[in-house]
């Protein structure tokens, strides 16, 4: 029972990443004028610095946190920076809607790839839940306008597919390094920041942020491009990977809700239908966890 409770707790911690990622669109509306790789490098720098301070204040050793296997370093930096690199390449070489949807295949890939992990079983409701979530994401991102994949944008589509494979592969393979502490993510963020600055210097021109943009960058470094990766690291290592994969479709759902609340989007019938599909997919994929918890509660009642 203890292992089951720990797994549920780790899954809930991992879901916090989805909640934080849902704030990404709201923050990025403030920093839209900042070049993407400059933004990524600044956010990861903030995440790395603040996490090092946090580790030190809690009596930990940053040096010890960084002493991890080479494979863990390669996987962590490739996952964090590689995803953003290929995502921005995709957006630069293909229409944003189609590129974003291809890149957002990663939650479904997580569900499918998880079957390769020792001790994991892929069941029909995991796949069905993932497909429902994907359908809802398609509606939210496309706004019901349909999709058209033009072969002329093959480079962008290919980069988006690499992007989805990178993040899903990172999330699933992360289970192999479950003994690597979450504190090590501070080093992975630092590595991603360095690569971001190098790429920015090679491809972009520096834009000086104003006060409101700096506040948004700080918010991103604290949450969606900071703490989110720490809780996702813990969740993918110790939680239910299939549920986390399907729950990740909650990011566009919550993101849309935040945009509606702050007056930057409208609650159209298409948006409502997309939200219903995503919620239905998450419930379906989590049926074992929900029913198991319910039956255990009933059993414990006098």
- Residues 268, 249: Cα–Cα separation, whole Å: 19
- Cβ burial of 288 (10 Å; 0-12, 13-18, 19+) is middle
Q: Considering the chain, what percentage of its residues have pLDDT values greater than 70?
A: 89
**Do residues 182 and 230 touch, judged by C-beta distance below 8 A?**
yes
pLDDT band, very low/low/confident/very high, at 103 (cuts 50, 70, 90): confident
Residue 299 is predicted with a pLDDT of 36
Other C-beta atoms lying within 10 Å of the C-beta of residue 172: 22
Residue 294 is predicted with a pLDDT of 45
pLDDT at residue 184 greater than cutoff 90: yes
- Residues 72, 95: Cα–Cα separation, whole Å: 34
Per-range mean pLDDT, top range of 71-80, 94-103, 154-163: 71-80
pLDDT band, very low/low/confident/very high, at 263 (cuts 50, 70, 90): confident
pLDDT band, very low/low/confident/very high, at 289 (cuts 50, 70, 90): low
pLDDT at residue 300 greater than cutoff 90: no
Radius of gyration of the chain (CA): 19
pLDDT at residue 297 greater than cutoff 60: no
Residue 146 is predicted with a pLDDT of 67
pLDDT band, very low/low/confident/very high, at 148 (cuts 50, 70, 90): low
pLDDT at residue 2 greater than cutoff 60: no
Residue 256 is predicted with a pLDDT of 76
Question: What's the CA angle centered on 235, arms 285 and 29, to 5 degrees?
Answer: 85
- Ramachandran angles phi, psi of 123, nearest 5°: -110, 165
pLDDT at residue 193 greater than cutoff 70: yes
């Amino acid at each position: 029972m203890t292992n089951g409770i720990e797994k549920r707790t780790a899954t809930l911690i991992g879901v916090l990443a989805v909640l934080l990622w849902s704030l990404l669109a709201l923050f990025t509306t403030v920093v839209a004028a900042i070049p993407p790789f400059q933004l990524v490098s600044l956010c990861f720098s903030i995440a790395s610095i603040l996490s090092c301070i946090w580790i030190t204040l809690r009596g930990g050793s940053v040096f010890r946190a960084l002493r991890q296997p080479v494979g863990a370093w390669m996987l962590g930096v490739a996952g964090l920076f590689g995803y953003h690199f290929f995502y921005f390449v995709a957006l630069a070489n293909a229409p944003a809607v189609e590129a974003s949807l291809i890149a957002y295949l990663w939650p479904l890939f997580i569900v499918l790839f998880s079957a390769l992990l020792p001790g994991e079983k892929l069941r029909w409701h995991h796949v069905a839940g993932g497909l429902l979530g994907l359908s809802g994401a398609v509606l939210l991102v496309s706004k019901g306008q349909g999709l058209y994949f033009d072969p002329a944008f093959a480079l962008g589509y290919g980069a988006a597919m690499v992007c989805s494979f990178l993040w899903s592969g990172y999330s699933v393979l992360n289970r192999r390094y479950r003994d690597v502490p979450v504190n090590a993510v501070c080093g992975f963020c630092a590595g991603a920041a360095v690569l971001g600055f190098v790429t920015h210097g090679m491809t972009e021109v520096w834009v000086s942020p104003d006060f409101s943009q700096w506040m948004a960058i700080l918010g991103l470094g604290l949450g969606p491009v900071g703490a989110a990766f720490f809780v996702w690291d813990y969740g993918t290592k110790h939680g239910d990977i299939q549920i986390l994969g399907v729950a990740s479709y909650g990011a566009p759902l919550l993101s849309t809700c935040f945009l509606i609340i702050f007056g930057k989007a409208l609650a159209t019938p298409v948006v409502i239908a997309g939200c219903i599909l995503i919620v239905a997919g998450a419930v379906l994929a989590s049926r074992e966890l929900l029913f198991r918890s319910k039956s255990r509660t009933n059993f414990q009642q006098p």
